[in-house]
Amino acid sequence: MSKDISIKKGLNINLVGAAEQTTSIAVLSNVYVINLDDFHGLVPKMLVKQGAEVKVGEVLFYNKNKTDMLFVSPVGGELIEIQRGARRRILTLKILADKKQETLEHTILDFANAGAQEIKAYLLKGGCWPFIKQRPYDIIADPTIAPKAIFISGLATAPLAADIDYVLQGKEKELQAAVSALGKLTPGKVHISVGSSSSSPLAGLNEIELHKILGPHPAGLVGTQINKIDPINKGEVVWTIAPQDLIVIGELLLTGKFNPERIVALVGSSVKVPKYYKTKIGAEISTFLYASGVNTENFRVINGDVLTGAKSSQDGCLGFYNNTVTAIPEGDDYEFFGWAKPVFNKISATRAMTFSWLRPKKKYDLTTNANGEHRAFVVTGQYEKVFPMDIFPMQLLKACMVKDLDEMEQLGLYEVAPEDFSLTEFVCISKQPHQQIIREGLDLLQKEIG
Amino acid sequence: MGLKGKLHEIKQKYKGKKMAPAFNALHTFLYSPDETTHSGSHIRVVDDLKRTMNTVIMALIPVLLFSMFNTGYQHFSAINGFPENFSLMEHFLTWDNFWIGIIKVLPLVVVSYGVGLGVEFLFAVIKGHEVEEGYLVTGMLVPLIVPIDTPLWMLTVAVVFGVVIGKEVFGGTGMNILNPALTIRAFLFFAYPTWMSGDKVWVYDAVNLAGTPDAISGETILGSMAQGKEFSYSVSDMFFGFVPGSVGETSAFLILLGGLFLIFSKIASWRIMVSAVIGSLVMGLMFNQVVELGWITETSKFHGLMDFDFWKHLIVGGLAFGIVYMATDPVTGAQTNKGKWIYGFLIGFLSVMIRVFNPAYPEGVFLAILLMNVFAPTIDHYVIQGNVKRRMKRMKNATIVPKDSGQKAEELKVETV
């Protein structure tokens, strides 16, 4: 039995450049990069030296604070560079792919009969643990704490995000294996949400609690769904996993191999032919970006969707968690009386001489221009219109800014991740960096309270 | 290279210098900036604070134009008597009337903006932050809420006080507790009470002509009522605004249009406007009932105002203007949706109450709004506590899964390099 959840508050952002539902196989990448920024708050400790040869799935480094949490190589080859930043912090690892592409094989775990500890150890050893994230704090899950429930959102409502139903096609076996195994790690349920009219492979799985979600973005964000299904209380932990990562987990369980392959949507108005590519975690973005072609010189490559993605570049590599790569034009230009004239070609949350409300279905070609300067919070009530959680968004942001731990707790910081504030950030008239504020708030809360 | 390129070069040259905020304020006025997103969302809505403020100003322009004509109309009518068979084109929209508006209202606008923005620029340069747009609306509100014969030097002193004490000491736009425009109005009222109240300042030249054989009176409706005098304005006069009063407050009709525009454009809170109207009607009705039930006698000094039809409170004095343009200030008002209902209701309620009970302050609305500005954070606090309590209750009922205390996960032997 599925339960229907209807979200009313929110905003669908229609952009030019949605991916056509065809998949090409991307050219093999020469080098693969692991960007340590993908793992927020992680202190890595290297296990192999620069110049070492690794196989696919072989350990590169581990978490210094949780030594059994291993991070493995998505590719076979030579570790050619360890880029370090200030205080010798590791920034990126660069691996030169070889021709053999040998894969490290683990003995297959009989997960149907295995206990929770065995499954946990197997996922940690196989390099799949980092796919599991936890809330509070939106970090890689702590393996020593059992979550009260696991949440998986099978619905992408973010602008131009990859269609999850499409990328999961034909992977029922892997998905089932993953949710069956993960289900043993929690005394609670595995909640999976799909669109109300979707034919998602997730909908047919066993041992799960299925929810059907209806409504505009951020209905597809897992944080919204948690808030509606089973909100997090202080002291509780829930796990969240992106559906495309379930495939990797499932494959490790079924075959004993770490297979970092995934289908990525290349989208955005700067891309000539937006479509799907089959590639691997850490692969160079240029291997598929130029296959589709770009129609402008000055554009920004984003690892992820336009609201939550990380800024990358043409030379960048696919992030660990991403299944969307977006390219949109940079907006570093002035506009004559841009604040006063009527606007038809940009999205607005108001009707102040802006006319996007006239054509809600129109697709817009937005640039990275901030459309204004950073200001103090002035206008009220605008965030609440696009924020469906039972939380006061502006008050929570202010609590984070003034670093008031009590208030952060009371107003529900445990329940949110930075991505939940991506839409309020988008509509913000004062151009405040909401996601950064929430991230800093979460970091502080974790440091002080743990 | 065009203007755009030249300005960009100057901007780069002065980056980080002391005068940069002043230059940037002018630059961003001409060209919206080339700033791109750095963190978080890579795209943003087109709305910014300038556009928001500009929308409010647009809603005020009809009121300003009307007030310029009305200034002249009241002046000539006070001298020559109100015209019989009033015709809009013949008696109101005339160049003679408009000229009085230009020489009387425009200087108020110029002084308000000149002095106010001067102070803003000064603070921006001293403190090294950008010039924020808050004063754009305040600067337009101020000339509309003062009596027409306010001397410009008084206005200057009041604007400096209002901007510095009302806003900048709290940290500038977005940080203030009291509405700056109302702070300025209150300063005028309490610093120069003999000038600011009474029956002379509401019509141009009434002050100068006082005591001469040509003396004219320019009593406001509320002023007359507070003294128990009769007045001769019809309901349609009051609604459309052909009556004496503060510069921009008289035309309830244009204020209504402005309010509808602000609600439609989603800039101002309809919750505050609606609840404030309800609040004032409720208080007005209560006073009407008091009179009806015979609880006060006709000799009572409150009788005149209490007997005033409850809905007429909305079309006389500054109540409508206050509700639409001042109570809806998002910075000083309540910030939660529930809070906005309470905040607006109390503004309407208290405005009419002050108006009736204290004949010395016929303009209760600015005091009511200032009072509620002070209480808005308290209202919000209790609204937010409701949310917090719900969260606490949920936590109490939850069974928290304890940490994994059993066997630890299989230890992996690892070596560092």
Q: For B231-257, how does the pLDDT look when each residue is reduced to its tens digit (9 = 90+)?
A: 778 888 889 988 888 888 889 999 999
Pick from B9, B11, B32 the residue to mutate for testing the A interface (most A CBs within 10 Å): B32
Q: Is residue A355 part of a domain?
A: no
Q: Do A235 and B400 touch (CB under 8 A)?
A: yes
CATH number at residue A40: 2.40.50
pLDDT band of residue B412 (cuts 50, 70, 90) is very low
Rounded distance, CA A305 to CA A268, Å?
9
Instruction: Indicate whether A375 and A413 sit together in one domain.
Output: yes
| CB < 8 Å from B in window 294-333 of A | 300, 302, 306-309, 311, 326, 328, 330-333
Higher pLDDT, B239 or B221: B239
Asked if B34 is an interface residue toward chain A (Cβ–Cβ < 8 A), one would say yes
Same domain for A306 and A282?
yes
Nearest by CB to A351, from B4, B44, B266: name it. Answer: B266
Q: Which residue type does A42 have?
A: L
- Of the given ranges (A190-199, B80-89, B246-255), which has the lowest mean pLDDT? B80-89
Question: Does residue A232 share a domain with residue A166?
Answer: yes
Look at the alpha carbons of A96, A102, A106, A109 in this order and tell me if their dihedral is positive or negative: positive
HSE, side-chain direction, 13 A CA sphere, residue B101: 22
Decide if A358 is inside a domain.
no
Distance CA A359, CA A354 (A): 11
Q: With contacts defined as CB-CB under 8 Å, which chain B residues touch A93?
A: none
> B121 to chain A nearest CA, in Å?
16
C-alpha dihedral over B405, B406, B412, B415, to 10 degrees?
30
Q: Exposed/middle/buried for B395, CB within 10 Å: 0-12, 13-18, 19+?
A: middle
Closest B-chain CA to A357: B265
CB contact under 8 A, A379 and B52: yes
Q: What is the pLDDT of residues B97-136, one digit of tens each?
A: 999 999 999 999 999 999 999 999 999 998 888 888 889 9
Q: Which residues in B lie closer than 8 A to residue A124 (C-beta atoms)?
A: 409, 412
Say if A352 falls within a structural domain.
no
User: In this model, does residue B417 exceed pLDDT 50?
Assistant: no
Point out the residue among A117, A237, A348 whose CB comes nearest to the CB of B47.
Answer: A348
pLDDT band per the 50, 70, 90 thresholds, residue B413:
very low
Tokens found for residue A437: 């504020």
End-to-end CA distance of chain B: 57
d(CA A216, CA A8): 7
Q: Are residues A155 and A7 in the same domain?
A: yes
Chain B residue with minimal CA distance to A341? Answer: B51
Q: Tell me the per-residue pLDDT of A42-78, one tens digit each, with 9 for 90 and over.
A: 999 999 999 999 999 999 999 999 999 999 999 999 9
- B392 → chain A, closest CA residue: A410
B33–A370 C-beta distance less than 8 A? yes
**Do A161 and A196 fall into the same domain?**
yes
Q: What pLDDT is attached to residue B405?
A: 42
In chain A, residues with a C-beta closer than 8 Å to the C-beta of B30 are: 336-337
Quick check: B414 pLDDT over 50? no
Hey, of B3, B4, B23, B48, which one would you mutate to test binding to chain A, going by the most A CBs within 10 A of its CB?
B48
Instruction: State the pLDDT confidence band at A2, using cuts at 50, 70 and 90.
Output: low
Q: Indicate which of A186, A429, A434, A439 best probes the interface with B, i.e. most B CBs within 10 Å of its own CB.
A: A429
Please indicate, yes or no, if residue A349 is contained in any of the structural domains.
no
Q: Which residue of A has its CA nearest to B331?
A: A378
Q: Is the CB of A339 less than 8 angstroms away from the CB of B50?
A: yes
Burial of B89 (0-12, 13-18, 19+ CB in 10 A): exposed
Assign B355 a pLDDT band (cuts: 50, 70, 90).
confident
User: CATH number of the domain that A238 lies in?
Assistant: 3.40.50
Considering only residues 252 to 291 of chain A, which have any Cβ-Cβ distance to chain B shorter than 8 Å? none
Residues of A in contact with B401 (CB under 8 A): 145-148, 187-188, 236-237
Q: Confidence band (pLDDT; 50, 70, 90) for B29? A: confident
**Residue A278 or residue B400, greater confidence:** A278
Which of A227, A255, A283 delimits the end of a domain?
A255
Residues A86 and A131 in one domain: no
Adjacent-strand bridge partners of A63: A44, A66
Examine residue A50 and state whether it is found in any structural domain, yes or no: yes
Longest CA pairwise span in chain A (Å): 68
pLDDT above 90 as % of chain A = 80
Q: Is B1 an 8 Å CB contact of chain A?
A: no
Neighboring chain B residues of A144 at a CB cutoff of 8 Å: 403-404, 408-409
CA distance A412 to B341: 24
How far apart, in whole angstroms, are the C-alpha atoms of residue A127 and residue A59? 7
Q: How many helices (H) and strands (E) does chain A have?
A: 10, 21
Give the nearest chain B residue to A334 (CA atoms). B34
User: A40, A73, A97: which is the final residue of a domain?
Assistant: A97
Is position A89 within any domain? yes
Predicted local distance difference test score (pLDDT) of residue B292 = 87
DSSP reduced 3-state for A277: strand
Cα–Cα distance for residue pair A356/B46, rounded to 1 Å: 10
Beta strand B31-32 with A335-336 is antiparallel
Task: Give the gap in angstroms from C-alpha A54 to the nearest C-alpha of chain B.
Answer: 15
* Of the partner residues A332, A381, A390, the one whose CB lies closest to the CB of residue B36: A332
User: A283 with A148, same domain?
Assistant: no
- Is residue A58 domain-shared with residue A177, that is, in the same domain? no
Based on its alpha-carbon atoms, the radius of gyration of chain B, rounded to whole angstroms, reads 26
Q: Do A160 and A250 fall into the same domain?
A: yes
Residue with tokens 């009736």: B356
Please list every residue in chain A whose beta carbon sits closer than 8 Å to the beta carbon of residue B36. 300, 330-332, 367-370
Q: What is the band of B397 on the pLDDT scale with cuts at 50, 70, 90?
A: confident
- A435 to chain B, closest Cα gap in Å: 5
**Structure tokens belonging to residue B299:** 């000799």
User: Are A287 and A401 members of one domain?
Assistant: no
Inform me whether the pLDDT recorded for B54 exceeds 80: yes
- Report if residue A364 sits inside a domain: no
Angle (CA) A241-A247-A251 rounded to 5° is 125
* Cβ partners under 8 Å of residue B228, min gap 6: B301, B303, B304
Task: Decide if A401 touches B, using CB distance below 8 A.
Answer: no
In CATH, what number is assigned to the domain containing residue A281? 3.10.20.600
Within 44-103 of B, beta carbons closer than 8 Å to A belong to: 44-52, 54-55, 58
* Interface contacts A/B by beta carbons within 8 Å: 280
**Is A129 part of any domain?**
yes
Boundary-marking domain end, from A197, A225, A255:
A255
User: Which chain B residue's Cα is nearest to A327?
Assistant: B42
Count structural domains, chain A: 4
Print the domain residue range for A246.
3-11+112-255
Residues A249 and A118 reside in one and the same domain = yes
Integer-rounded Cα Rg, in Å, for chain A is: 22
Q: CB under 8 Å to B111, separation ≥6 — which residues?
A: B143, B152, B155, B156, B159
Instruction: Collect all residues of chain B within an 8 Å Cβ-Cβ radius of residue A440.
Output: none
Confidence of residue B153 (pLDDT cuts 50, 70, 90): very high
CB contact under 8 A, B416 and A334: no
Kindly state the helix (H) or strand (E) to which residue A320 belongs, with its residue range: none
Positive/negative CA dihedral, A174, A179, A180, A184: positive
Q: Would you call A9 an interface residue with chain B, using a CB distance cutoff of 8 Å?
A: no
**Co-location of A133 and A220 in the same domain:** yes
Instruction: Give the closest-approach CA distance of A64 to chain B in angstroms.
Output: 10
**Residue A231 forms contact with B (CB below 8 Å):** yes
Shortest distance between the Cα of A84 and any Cα of chain B, in A, equals 15
Residues of B with Cβ-Cβ distance to A428 under 8 angstroms: 44-45
Indicate the range of A85-94, A224-233, B206-215, B296-305 predicted with least confidence. B206-215
Residue B126 sits at the chain A interface (C-beta within 8 Å)? no
Q: What are phi and psi for residue B144, nearest 5 degrees?
A: -85, -15
pLDDT at B411: 42
Distance from CA of A147 to the nearest CA of B (A): 7
| Cβ pair B336:A378 closer than 8 A | no
Of B38, B46, B335, the CB nearest to A343: B46
406-425 in chain A: CB under 8 A from chain B: 410-412, 418, 421-423, 425
Question: Would you give the distance in Å from CA A339 to the centre of its chain?
Answer: 33
What pLDDT score does B401 carry?
Answer: 56
The tens digit of pLDDT for each residue in A321-379 reads: 999 999 999 988 888 888 888 989 999 999 988 888 888 889 999 999 999 889 999 99
Across the interface, whether the CB atoms of B44 and A428 are under 8 A apart is answered: yes
